[in-house]
Amino acid sequence: MSERTFVMVKPDGVGRRLIGQCLQRFEARGLKLVGLKLQVLSDAIAKAHYDEHKDKPFFGELVEFITSGATVQMVWEGPDAVAQVRKMNGATNCLKADQGTIRGDLGLSMQNNIIHASDAVDTAKREIALYFKAEELWDYAMPDDQWLS
């Protein structure tokens, strides 16, 4: 079923000039980009985003890292978009991520793992709403829609 997922290229991914490679993989897979922006996150939005980790020992370091440089926010749409993107990103720890995934091909670290994506449809709804207004998300046709449903 078609759904939307939230994806963010983190400061290491932007700083290492990997935005294009990430975008290219999702486009080539057949997902549709319905929202896109770039920003340096405020402390408040970073803490809201990672609220579920607020009691973890790495929370402070995580907020410091995610606010340390520019990030790119994207919303991708397509059949099973949440699971498709999670699989394409690979395991959280780049060391454990399979070859062929973004983290397995491009990263070395647990924290500096290039990219974030929603882990469930409900999480995607919450994360999309945190970064995008309804009018910043676009519903449009692509010529290959018929082949990618």
Among the listed residues 17, 6, 4, 8, the one whose alpha carbon sits nearest the alpha carbon of residue 40? 8
Closest CB to ligand CMP among 44 and 141? 44
| Residues near ligand CMP (CB under 6 A) | 53, 58, 62, 92, 110-111, 113, 116
Other CB atoms within 10 Å distance of the CB of residue 137? 14
* Consecutive H or E run containing 124: helix 121-131
CB of residue 14 to ligand CMP, shortest distance in Å: 14
Name the catalytic one among 49, 102, 116, 118. 116
Burial group, residue 88, by CB count within 10 angstroms (0-12, 13-18, 19+): buried
Residue with smaller CB distance to ligand CMP, 21 or 92: 92
Q: What is the closest distance, in whole angstroms, from the C-beta atom of residue 77 to ligand CMP in the complex?
A: 20
What is the DSSP annotation of 75-115? EEEEETHHHHHHHHH--SSTTTSPTTSHHHHH---SS--SE
Nearer to ligand CMP, 37 or 56 (CB): 56
Q: Considering beta carbons, is residue 58 or 138 the nearer one to ligand CMP? A: 58
Active site residue 116: yes
Q: How far is the CB of 33 from ligand CMP (least distance, A)?
A: 20
For residue 89, give Cα distances in angstroms to 12, 48, 63, 94, 135: 15, 22, 20, 9, 27
**Closest distance between ligand CMP and the C-beta of residue 62, in Å?**
5
Residue numbers annotated as active site: 116
